[in-house]
Amino acid sequence: MSSQYSLFWFLHFTGIITWLGPTTAAWALVRRAVRSGDDRLLLWVRRAAQPLYRLEEIGLALLLLGGLGLLHASGLNPLTDHWLGIKLMLFAVVVLPMEIVHFRNLAKVNRALRAAGDTMTDDLRQKIGVEDRYIARVFWLSAAAIAAIILLAIFKPQLGA
């Protein structure tokens, strides 16, 4: 294993953990607060979750950087190594669009959060609700796609390669 390959592998894995860990924690915290119906708790949790969302962005960037580096360093070809082709397709068609919508929702929540100050506003409640319902709708699809990506990468099945 070349040192370049090891570096990209390290970035890829650090990215996966930094992306999925804080995302799951933020999701669980916000979900509880939304379900509680307590506006003060919800406001507090949304603010407390900000660093977790920053980590999510950093994790995704590292994952991508490491993944692109691995593509280059491993010499694998998504057109002939079909497990990789399917993995990248799942990432591009399912995971990435979901993340983009999620980040756009978060940006709207953050703007409303800044405008709200210390009190819950209707605008903020509505934007948090939109994001909460979006996550609830895409949760299982994204979990299934990520699980498939991980299984494909670990077992590297020779799908017609």
List interacting residues with ligand HEM (CB under 6 A). Answer: 12, 16, 63-64, 67-68, 70-71, 74, 76, 84, 88, 91, 95, 146, 149-150, 153-154
CA distance 60 to 96: 10
CA distance 68 to 46: 33
Ramachandran region of residue 117, left (φ > 0), alpha (ψ -120 to 50) or beta? left
Cβ closer to ligand HEM: 16 or 43?
A: 16
Cβ closer to ligand HEM: 30 or 73?
A: 73
Residue nearest to ligand HEM as judged by C-beta position: 67
Cβ closer to ligand HEM: 91 or 134?
A: 91
Q: How far is the CB of 61 from ligand HEM (least distance, A)?
A: 11
Q: How far is the CB of 38 from ligand HEM (least distance, A)?
A: 34
Q: What is the DSSP letter of 92?
A: I
CB within 8 Å of 154: residues ≥ 6 apart: none
Cβ closer to ligand HEM: 11 or 26?
A: 11
Structure tokens at 123: 């605008």
Q: How far is the CB of 146 from ligand HEM (least distance, A)?
A: 5
CB within 8 Å of 72: residues ≥ 6 apart: 8
Q: How far is the CB of 25 from ligand HEM (least distance, A)?
A: 17
